[in-house]
Amino acid sequence: MQLTFATYNIHKAVGTDRRRNPERILAVLNEIDADIVALQEVDRRMGRRETVLPLSHIEDYSPYRAVPLNHRPDSLGWHGNALLVRRSIALAEAAIVPLPVIEPRGAIRADLLIKGRRIRVVGMHLDLSGLRRRQQLRAILDHLGRCDHHCPSVVMGDCNEWGVQRGALSEFRLPWRVLAPGRSFPARQPVARLDRIALSEEWHVVDAKVHHSALAVKASDHLPVMARLQLPTI
């Protein structure tokens, strides 16, 4: 079974032309054509924290549905994190992953049922502080360790980590693997690999890359990062 995962910081749908355009974000997602997408900065930061990507837009302009968290009525996710999955994918459960924070950061988890298999996905947006990022990744890994139903897992998002091998991402110890497919920030002239995908040992990597298109360069200050992953037959 092969699945495509993507992570995308949409910068509250404000592009490099300084225009807020949620339809453009969804057009980029349609270009990517992933099965499961982790989004960051999908809600406004102040006030009622309304989503900048309305559910009606997702339903009308994409093949996805949002994983419901039922926390804030005007938000799509938690601290700006949201998960989109193809409508054919069944949801077993979803939860907020509590993180130690100073600034508003967060992580969310969804357990999905695909072709009879349970898949676990975490979307995250980590702190600007290296020490805080380490604490947050430990909290995510501790959360995963306490989950029922051990299953293949993918953790992805904007890690705010410039290093490739050192730094906070070293918290992902073997058998975890961290993919850094390429530079994704800033979108116009990317120099940093801020957006990462971490895999549990069950996955085989078919392909991993940064999605770089004319539309993606305009839609957000980050480029999407994606990976095509395969699970062995059981």
pLDDT in tens, 143-159: 999 998 899 999 999 99
Give the predicted TM-score (pTM) of the model: 0.95
Give per-residue pLDDT as tens, 25-81: 999 999 999 999 999 999 887 667 788 998 888 988 899 999 998 666 677 888 899
Instruction: Tell me the CATH number at 140.
Output: 3.60.10.10
User: What is the spatial distance between Cα 106 and Cα 124, in angstroms, rounded to a whole number?
Assistant: 6
Give per-residue pLDDT as tens, 81-125: 999 999 999 999 999 998 887 666 789 999 999 999 999 999 999
Identify which of 101, 132, 135, 137 has the alpha carbon closest to the alpha carbon of residue 122.
Answer: 137
pLDDT above 90 (res 196) = yes
pLDDT above 80 (res 202) = yes
Provide the number of structural domains found in the chain. Answer: 1
Average pLDDT over residues 192-199: 96
CA dihedral (54, 35, 223, 55) in degrees, to 10, reads: 0
Q: Identify whether the C-beta of residue 195 lies closer than 8 Å to the C-beta of residue 185.
A: yes
User: What is the spatial distance between Cα 117 and Cα 28, in angstroms, rounded to a whole number?
Assistant: 28
- The domain of 30 spans 2-230
Q: What is the distance of C-alpha 91 from the center of its chain?
A: 17
